[in-house]
Amino acid sequence: MEQAQSTNSTEQRRRLLKGALGASTVMGMGYSSAALASFQCITSTTPYPSSGPGFKKSINTTSNWAWLKLQVFSTNKSNSTNSWKAVKIPNGTDPTVANGDAGTSVYFFDNLATTPLLYAAGSRSLPSGIKVSSAESGNYVYVIVYFKVDGSIAGFFPTYTPITGSDYPAQGSCLTSLNPNLVQTNIFYGG
């Protein structure tokens, strides 16, 4: 009787191990479990681009999207019908260069608009001769941050065009587990 019980226990352990090994092979789909987890986490946040603008004058706490905080600069073109402002957005993946002159592109927006659009310097939609003036103390706006599936920064709206199936906005809860060493300079979370 003991012999039969021992053989039965051995058989159960063998089946359990075989099932566990088989499940890890199927679940991994050729990716490491960390890569698969990061892909699942980042891609689960993809609805943002189609449900909201990539540029906002303010963010709230109703959600946890990653945004790049930008200093607002005054311009030489403001009157009673338009209040043109400027921002300096990084061209690459480094959030620490935001608001500076090196490694950024200048974009303008009408601050009186409820949902303003960003216009690249030289756009025909801008007033002739518009120029950036001084930084406005305490005045900030936000652009969405795009991430690779490993949690690293891919770029920023609108200086970066995301690659479908590769680059996504992400929520802070996802990023803290994927990339705990992410440079958080100028990055804020909200909706």
pLDDT digits (tens, 9 = 90+) for 93-144: 999 999 999 999 999 999 998 888 999 999 999 999 999 999 999 999 999 8
Give the separation between CA 190 and CA 172, rounded to whole angstroms: 9
CA 173 to chain centre: 12
What pLDDT sits at residue 131?
Answer: 95
Average pLDDT over residues 67-82: 89
Looking up tokens 């490491």 gives 32
**Spans of all domains in the chain:** 2-30, 43-190
Average pLDDT estimate for 158-180: 77
Beta bridge partners of 143: 55, 68
What tokens does 84 get? 């043109």
Give yes or no for a contact between 105 and 88, defined as CB atoms under 8 angstroms apart.
yes
d(CA 103, CA 89): 8
| C-alpha dist (Å) from residue 162 to 154, 157, 159, 166, 179 | 8, 9, 10, 8, 19
Instruction: Kindly tell me if the per-residue pLDDT of 85 is higher than 80.
Output: yes
DSSP state for residue 125 in the 8-state scheme: T
Model pLDDT, residue 41: 59
Is residue 115 exposed (0-12), middle (13-18) or buried (19+ Cβ within 10 Å)?
exposed
| pLDDT for the residue 127 | 93
pTM of the model: 0.72
Confidence bin at 8 (pLDDT 50/70/90): low
- The pair of structure tokens assigned to 28 is 């991994």
Alpha-carbon span 150 to 178, nearest angstrom: 7
First-last CA distance in the chain: 66
